[in-house]
């Protein structure tokens, strides 16, 4: 087995074929293999013979790079993580299955961690939120959207994600007060993210309405819809369950520092 950086179109297609065998478990590395995220990601594959047996991606759009890897045998994951950690300089994050945190520990002390659920809707349930006026965010509103997320410390937002797929919002007095969008979109699965409502406008079904329309839009094109939510965020979990999402698996969110950095 050897680890190689993915640089050719053929290598990229082989990695996508490997990951799409389980698009739910592999949603994050799979998304990094499609534009626009591919523009800011380094992708590595583990190869035995001529077969891809594992894929890892380093997403570099956030202040701290994010290392994610797909389902694979333990030995493959170990080698992919070792390679990825060698390619970052200091602190980084990862979202992985809880048992997979062990692959980082010999290289990186964990500074912070919390637990999340991956929730999946296939298809989502459409509910009536007709009393809420939801708008699709246009390119002219991108600066307004970025300001909204900056004001609410939305750490997972970077403007390049607007290029990945749709964002929907609710406005009041020409300001965005609630929004929902995507982290990534692939032909098979989309990952929702940046679902935020201003505190002064909560409990009015704004987030529910934005997420409802967003999920329906993505599902109408044949995609499974996925999202991550903190396990202790009971109100959000309740909203997602109303929209037809169910808990698929547990996720560990890790913040780490490279040993010696």
pLDDT single digits (tens) 111-153: 999 999 999 999 999 999 989 999 999 999 999 999 999 999 9
Question: Hey, do 2-115+252-257 and 120-249 end up sharing a CATH topology, with the first three levels equal?
Answer: yes
Return the pLDDT at 194: 96
Tokens representing residue 244 in the block: 């037809």
What residue spans define the domains of the chain? 2-115+252-257, 120-249
Return the pLDDT at 106: 83
Place of tokens 């626009």: 36
Length of the chain: 261
Return the pLDDT at 257: 96
Domain 2-115+252-257 has CATH 3.40.930.10: no
Domain 120-249 has CATH 3.40.630.30: yes
Place of tokens 């013979």: 49
Could you say which residues of the chain have pLDDT below 50?
none
Return the pLDDT at 130: 87
188-207: pLDDT as tens digits? 999 999 999 999 999 999 99
CB 259 within 8 A of CB 139: no
DSSP 199-214: GGG-SSSHHHHHHHHH
Tokens representing residue 202 in the block: 């909560």
């Amino acid at each position: 087995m050897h680890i190689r950086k993915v640089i050719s179109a053929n290598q990229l297609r082989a990695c996508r074929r490997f990951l799409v065998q389980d698009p739910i478990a592999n949603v994050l590395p799979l998304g990094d293999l499609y534009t626009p995220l591919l523009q800011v990601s380094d992708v590595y594959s583990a190869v035995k013979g001529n077969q891809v047996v594992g894929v890892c991606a380093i997403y570099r759009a956030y202040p701290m790079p994010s290392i994610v890897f797909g389902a694979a045998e333990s030995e493959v994951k170990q080698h992919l993580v070792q390679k990825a950690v060698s390619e970052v300089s200091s602190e980084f994050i990862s979202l992985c299955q809880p048992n997979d945190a062990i692959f980082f520990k010999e290289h990186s002390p964990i500074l912070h961690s919390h637990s999340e659920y991956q929730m999946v809707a296939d298809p989502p349930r459409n509910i009536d939120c007709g009393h809420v006026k939801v708008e699709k965010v246009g390119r002219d509103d991108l600066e307004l959207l970025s300001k909204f997320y900056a004001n609410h410390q939305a750490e997972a937002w970077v403007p390049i994600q607007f290029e990945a797929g749709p964002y929907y919002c609710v406005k009041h007095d020409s300001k965005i007060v609630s929004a929902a969008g995507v982290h990534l979109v692939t032909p098979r699965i989309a990952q929702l993210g940046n679902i935020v409502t201003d505190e002064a406008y909560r409990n009015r079904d704004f987030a529910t309405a934005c997420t409802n329309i967003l999920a329906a839009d993505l599902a109408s094109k044949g995609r499974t819809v996925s999202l991550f939510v903190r396990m202790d965020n009971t109100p959000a979990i309740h909203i997602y369950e109303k929209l037809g999402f169910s808990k698929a698996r547990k996720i560990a969110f890790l913040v780490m520092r490279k040993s010696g950095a």
